[in-house]
Amino acid sequence: MEATYVASRGVWWTGPLGLLNQVSPANYASHGLDPYHNAADNTLINSAVSAASVVARLGNLTPYSGFPSTGTVLNALRPFPQFNNLAVTGSPTGKTYYDSLQTKVTQRLSHGLSVTGSFTWSKSLNFTRQEFFNPDSSEKQLQSTDRPYALNININYTTQRSDMLNKFKFVNALWKDWLVTWSSTYQSGTLLTPPPQTNTNFLGGSQMFRVPGVPLFLKDLNCHCLNPYTDQFLNPAAWSNVTGSNTPDYTTNNSGGTLNGFFGPSTFYGDFRGQRHPIESFNLGRNFRIKERMNFQIRAEFTNILNRTFIGDPGTGNFGAIGPRGVISRNNAGQITSGFGTVNATAAVNGFPVLGGNASLPRQGTLIGRFTF
């Protein structure tokens, strides 16, 4: 038995540094503005500098001679008001973290049997700077490829000569030396992307907030009770649009030409995952040595040996704003074709259901014969 701690650290990965032409919270505050939490200020900064409400509140904000009177307060407050946005691309501000406990158990060859099992418990994180005006700030989040638990089992057995068949030498000769192999992998499901906020009054691209205490799933994706033609798997009630009341601060940068005030998170959640997809295969084969330079090999290979049916990840877009379960589309037969938390099972690949982008293929077997001389 072996147990190993494996870790890695990556630095200087490409990450978002921010916008060179972003207005700092300090600059807003110097003019008595707080557009991040005050809806009236948010409306004001998107008004023209010549508007009566702007002049009455802030006076003449013309940053340079020739600045258009139709220019917004937001543009007038920028460090470089002649430009809307100056984005920083490819800045080496990202970091990666990987930590894992890797264990392995090996039962070496004994009476033709050998078993190897390994289990990995890990976490993969990204670390990126989020605030241009606060270089020390950062946000650590799960990588999209994170799968904390992974179990691998490999069993090999070579059939042995049987004493019971000594009287039947021909049968004994056929029975021995067959290699039987079982290989399987069981691991956590892939992370699901939280739904994007649908309130157009706020910054596009931000994610919705989780509603505390509300379950994420309407059905367990790993149970044997799923019907993708009729079931909605994810719970829309577990998410809420971005509002001023549930936005803690300005931790997400303004990435557009206008500032819409309130921002949602940008992260993955460890308990928001798709269905687990076990990988199980079975092989059987033997070499028949005819002469020193002549060999005949026969082998049978089976994939998805237990004939499991998998579904793809349910969609987290198309949230909709109508009804407690969002907007769900159905065909004339009443089968779901799209909608938040659903899987489109109405398409097919080679006659088998797509089930959300992954063809649910049944058990398959291949028989191989090979003669070498």
Contact call for residues 23 and 78 (beta carbons, < 8 A): yes
Place of tokens 């919705």: 208
DSSP category for residue 164: G
Q: What angle do CA 140, 146, 152 make, to 5 degrees?
A: 150
Domain boundaries, the chain: 2-14+104-372, 20-86
Which pTM was predicted?
A: 0.74
Contact call for residues 191 and 267 (beta carbons, < 8 A): no
Burial environment of residue 370 by CB neighbours within 10 A (0 to 12, 13 to 18, 19 or more)? exposed
Per-residue pLDDT for the chain (373 aa), expressed as one digit of tens each?
899 999 999 988 876 665 677 787 788 889 998 876 777 887 888 899 999 999 999 999 889 989 999 999 988 998 899 887 676 667 777 889 999 999 999 988 778 899 999 999 999 998 766 556 666 656 678 998 999 999 999 999 998 877 666 666 766 777 788 999 999 999 999 999 998 876 544 443 467 888 889 999 999 999 888 888 888 999 988 988 765 544 444 333 333 333 344 455 678 899 999 999 899 999 999 988 888 889 899 999 999 999 888 888 888 876 765 445 567 888 888 888 888 888 877 654 444 444 444 445 788 999 999 998 8
